[in-house]
């Protein structure tokens, strides 16, 4: 295989280097293309464009492989905790026992949020979506910790900025939830591990002791691990491109939260449950809804199906489907929408439309059913996706700085009007 690609354009042939990744992925490095030819490439939606070289996550969409820092998602989901995966993704290696304890201790020092931040909750209207609140609260961290604004932070300063975010994010998520219920806020208890502390703040009551259910802790760890990173998706790319202007970590991640919110990305987990509820209320006729998804004149899409990169199966969906069965059985929950979900999946997987377009259930298809079984309302699902994705966003932002990447600034091909004669307002028709 040659490490040079030849491009012939406008009667001129230029040679461009071919880059090979450690998993044998190949790319043509076009960074000199415009200098050499005057041409740029056009790739709306970046379906063929690599934006960076990254060491964080590898995925092979054809084979259904996902690895964080070289470890398979199957093994991490089965054997590690979310905190171990946080360390792995951000710092590059699995932690030793001591490193894990140090990380937990560092986080414990910062789990409270500034008391003034609580006033924000009084300002949100009662119907406001938790993702809108989460995004603005994370953005606001940059006003409470202005030291994060400094570009070129030292490694220690950057680390403290990261630890504060890791520590406060679960507290903020829990407070958003408690406020939505009108319940008193439950402060963190640092004797708990990262995930248990989150569950305590979310489901604990001031009036009761909290009995931590190991099934719930285990399920939550698994779900968060499965969402922890997914290479250059819409929100991660957003975090990197916003961060490339030397914008601080908190604001960059708030931008990532906005990108995640859309129903084509992380918002799909809420959309799936809303869709399953709708189908149930409509009598549960899955064939009718499959036909709607296939009808090009109908805007309905089968939420939780399809993926830009996975064209065989989504390995996260496989793990989640199994976890979903186990968790509902362990918690003794019989959710009728699980049956509808399974019927939809079965029908879709044998339907030519879905086969031809390689549309398989993705990570969001079953995750909502688990979140529901754990007691979360559907409006919180995308917020939980964000909690899981946090280490990935942090690692992408950190790596972008370590790589000394230039400010992100795509080109375009202008197709608008060319020279027009200005007409005075009074003369315009
Ligand atoms: N239901 C029905 N048809 C679909 C669906 C779907 N969910 N997804 C794709 N298609 C069709 C689409 O209409 C098109 O058909 P045709 O070639 O006849 O025009 C073809 O499949 C290719 O679709 P596309 O929109 O060009 O594919 P994409 O790679 O741009 O989009 C996607 C990927 C995930 C946005 C899309 O599959 C989708 O909208 N899925 C539903 C939303 C969803 O579940 N999103 C969560 C993604 S996984 C979590 C995450 O990482 O964010």
Q: Quick one: which atom of ligand 1 is closest to the CA of 230? A: 51
Mean pLDDT (the chain, rounded): 95
Confidence of residue 212 (pLDDT cuts 50, 70, 90): confident
Q: Find, among 376, 194, 172, 349, the residue nearest to 269 by Cα.
A: 376
Mean pLDDT value across residues 366-395: 95
Sign of CA dihedral 124, 128, 133, 135: negative
Nearest CA to ligand 1 atom 26: 308
pLDDT given at position 211: 87
Strands (DSSP E) along 342-415, which ranges?
Answer: none
Q: Is the pLDDT of residue 202 over 80?
A: yes
Nearest CA to ligand 1 atom 24: 308
Distances, alpha carbon 239 to alpha carbons 57, 207, 258, 322, in Å: 16, 40, 10, 32
Q: Cα of 307 to ligand 1 centre, how many Å?
A: 6
For the stretch 224-245, pLDDT in tens is: 999 999 999 999 999 999 999 9
265 is catalytic: no
Q: Quick one: which atom of ligand 1 is closest to the CA of 357? A: 21
Q: Cα of 306 to ligand 1 centre, how many Å?
A: 5
Q: Quick one: which atom of ligand 1 is closest to the CA of 304? A: 44
Sign of CA dihedral 247, 248, 254, 257: positive
**Percent of the chain clearing pLDDT 70 (strictly above):** 100
CATH classification number, 2-49, choose in 2.20.28, 3.30.700, 1.10.3470, 3.40.50: 2.20.28
Residue 224 to residue 362: CA distance in whole angstroms: 15
> What CATH code would you report for 265-372?
1.10.230.10
Nearest CA to ligand 1 atom 11: 357
Distances, alpha carbon 140 to alpha carbons 59, 114, 118, 176, 302, in Å: 33, 11, 11, 14, 35
Residue 154 to residue 161: CA distance in whole angstroms: 11
Mean pLDDT value across residues 68-78: 98
43 is catalytic: no
The answer to whether 7 and 24 are in contact (CB under 8 A) is no
**321 contact partners, CB below 8 Å, separation of at least 6:** 361, 365, 366
Q: What's the CATH superfamily of 71-260?
A: Citrate Synthase, domain 1 (1.10.580.10)
**200 contact partners, CB below 8 Å, separation of at least 6:** 186, 188, 189, 192, 210, 212
Residue with tokens 């929408």: 337
pLDDT given at position 370: 93
Nearest CA to ligand 1 atom 19: 296
Residues in a beta bridge with 16 = 5
For the stretch 176-195, pLDDT in tens is: 999 999 999 999 999 999 99
Q: Cα of 54 to ligand 1 centre, how many Å?
A: 25
Q: Quick one: which atom of ligand 1 is closest to the CA of 305? A: 7
Nearest CA to ligand 1 atom 46: 265
Q: Is the pLDDT of residue 407 over 90?
A: yes
Binding-site residues, ligand 1, Cβ < 6 A: 230, 233, 264-266, 268, 293, 301-308, 357, 359, 362-364
Domains of the chain, residue spans: 2-49, 71-260, 265-372
Residue 331 to residue 139: CA distance in whole angstroms: 37
Q: Quick one: which atom of ligand 1 is closest to the CA of 47? A: 29
Count the neighbouring beta carbons within 10 Å of the beta carbon of residue 328.
17
The answer to whether 330 and 222 are in contact (CB under 8 A) is no
Nearest CA to ligand 1 atom 32: 307
**Global confidence as pTM:** 0.94
Which residue of the set 193, 265, 307, 314 is catalytic? 307
Q: Cα of 92 to ligand 1 centre, how many Å?
A: 32
**Probe ligand 1: pick from 306, 309, 349, 363, max atoms within 8 Å of CB?**
306
SS3 label, residue 182 = coil
For the stretch 248-263, pLDDT in tens is: 999 999 999 999 999 9
Q: Cα of 397 to ligand 1 centre, how many Å?
A: 27
The answer to whether 328 and 367 are in contact (CB under 8 A) is no
Mean pLDDT value across residues 271-277: 95
Which residue of the set 364, 401, 419, 427 is catalytic? 364
Q: Cα of 394 to ligand 1 centre, how many Å?
A: 27
Q: Find, among 165, 147, 171, 168, the residue nearest to 253 by Cα.
A: 165
Mean pLDDT value across residues 411-428: 98
For the stretch 110-168, pLDDT in tens is: 999 999 999 999 999 988 999 999 999 999 999 999 999 999 899 999 999 999 999 99
Side-chain half-sphere CA neighbours of 175 within 13 A: 24
SS3 label, residue 130 = helix
pLDDT given at position 210: 86
Q: Cα of 305 to ligand 1 centre, how many Å?
A: 7
SS3 label, residue 236 = helix
The answer to whether 117 and 124 are in contact (CB under 8 A) is no
Strands (DSSP E) along 84-139, which ranges?
Answer: none
Residue 37 to residue 34: CA distance in whole angstroms: 5
Q: Which helix (H) or strand (E) holds 74?
A: helix 73-79
């Amino acid at each position: 295989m040659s490490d040079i690609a030849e491009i012939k354009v406008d009667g001129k042939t230029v040679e461009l280097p071919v880059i090979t990744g450690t998993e044998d992925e190949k790319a043509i490095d076009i960074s000199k293309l415009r200098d050499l030819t005057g041409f740029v490439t056009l790739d709306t939606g970046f379906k063929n464009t690599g934006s960076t070289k990254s060491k964080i996550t590898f995925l092979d969409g054809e084979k259904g492989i996902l690895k964080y820092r070289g470890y398979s998602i199957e093994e991490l989901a089965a054997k590690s905790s979310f905190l171990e995966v946080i360390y792995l993704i951000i710092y590059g290696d699995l932690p030793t026992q001591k490193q894990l304890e140090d990380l937990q201790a560092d986080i414990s020092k910062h789990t409270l949020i500034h008391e003034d931040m609580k006033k924000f909750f009084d300002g949100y209207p009662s119907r406001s979506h938790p993702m809108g609140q989460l995004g603005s609260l994370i953005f606001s961290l940059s006003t409470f910790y202005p030291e994060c604004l400094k570009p070129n932070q030292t490694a220690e300063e950057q680390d403290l900025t990261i630890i504060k975010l890791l520590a406060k994010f679960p507290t903020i998520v829990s407070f958003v939830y408690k406020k939505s219920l009108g319940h008193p806020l439950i402060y963190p208890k640092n004797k708990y591990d990262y995930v248990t502390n989150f569950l305590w703040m979310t489901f604990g009551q001031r009036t009761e002791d909290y009995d931590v259910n190991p099934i719930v802790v285990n399920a939550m760890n698994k779900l968060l691990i499965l969402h922890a990173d997914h290479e250059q998706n819409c929100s991660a790319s957003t975090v990197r491109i916003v961060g490339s202007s030397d914008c601080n970590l908190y604001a960059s991640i708030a931008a990532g939260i906005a990108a995640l919110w859309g129903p084509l990305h992380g918002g799909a987990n809420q959309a799936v449950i809303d869709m399953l509820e709708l189908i149930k209320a409509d009598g549960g006729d899955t064939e009718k809804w499959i036909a709607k998804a296939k009808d090009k004149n109908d805007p309905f899409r089968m939420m939780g199906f399809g993926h830009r990169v996975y064209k065989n199966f989504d390995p996260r969906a496989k793990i989640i489907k199994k976890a979903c069965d186990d968790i509902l059985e362990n918690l003794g929950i019989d959710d009728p929408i699980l049956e509808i979900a399974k019927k939809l999946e079965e029908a879709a997987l044998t339907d030519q439309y879905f086969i031809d377009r390689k549309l398989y259930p993705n990570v969001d298809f079953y995750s909502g059913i688990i979140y529901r079984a754990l007691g979360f309302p559907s409006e919180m699902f995308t917020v939980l996706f964000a909690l899981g994705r946090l280490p990935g966003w942090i690692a992408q932002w950190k790596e972008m700085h370590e790589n000394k990447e230039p400010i992100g600034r795509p080109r375009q091909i202008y197709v608008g009007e060319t020279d027009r004669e200005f007409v005075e307002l009074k003369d315009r028709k």
